[in-house]
Structure formats: C-alpha cells, structure tokens
Amino acid sequence: MPRRRAPSQAPSQVPSHAPDAFAGRYPHVARWLQHGYVEIGWLESGTDSFVRALDMGGMVWEGAPTYPSLDDALAALDAGVAAFMAEQGIA
C-alpha cells in the first residue's frame, strides 16, 4: 500500500528547470509530445525497436533494437522525430 503524506506536509515540487533541461537536450522529442507519444523499451511482439514515436495513426518512427545508452536512444529518437516532422511539415 502506498505511503500517504501527512496533510501538513507540502507536496513535492518538480524543479522548474526540469522540463527545460529535457527540451534543451531533445528539442524535437519535446515538440513531438504535442503531436504524439513515444514508447521506450521492448515489446513482446510487433517490433524489435527499443524506442519508437507514434501518433494516433500508429508508428511514425522506430529505432534500432539496442543502443549503448539511454541517452543514445533518445538522441536517435530526437533525430528521427525531427526528420519525420520536417517531411510532414509539422512545426
């Protein structure tokens, strides 16, 4: 059962710089999240990619099966999403 915070405690706050740090490092992924969503991790069926970008119509980009690091996977996602958005004229 999850631990509940006592009413007198203030809720945790996400540092205000957190979203900007991600958007600064992966700007196209941050923009893509206004149009679609991403999946990170392996699926049991359907694809062997580790990272994917999707919208309501389905898969728009999928990466390689493995990456040396999560940062490398996110960098590939950022580049893939940038290319897709450029092709589709998404600003």
Q: What is the pLDDT of residues 20-63, one digit of tens each?
A: 889 999 999 999 999 899 999 988 777 889 999 999 999 999 99
Residues above pLDDT 90, as percent of the chain: 65
Is 78 among the domain residues?
A: yes
Burial 5-41 (b: 16+ CB within 10 A, else e): eeeeeeeeeeeeeeeeeeeeebebbbbbeeebebbee
Enclosing domain of residue 67: 37-88
Is 45 among the domain residues?
A: yes
Q: What is the mean pLDDT of residues 3-7?
A: 48
Does residue 81 or residue 17 have the better pLDDT? 81
Is 70 among the domain residues?
A: yes
As a residue count, the chain comes to 91
Is 32 among the domain residues?
A: no
Is 73 among the domain residues?
A: yes
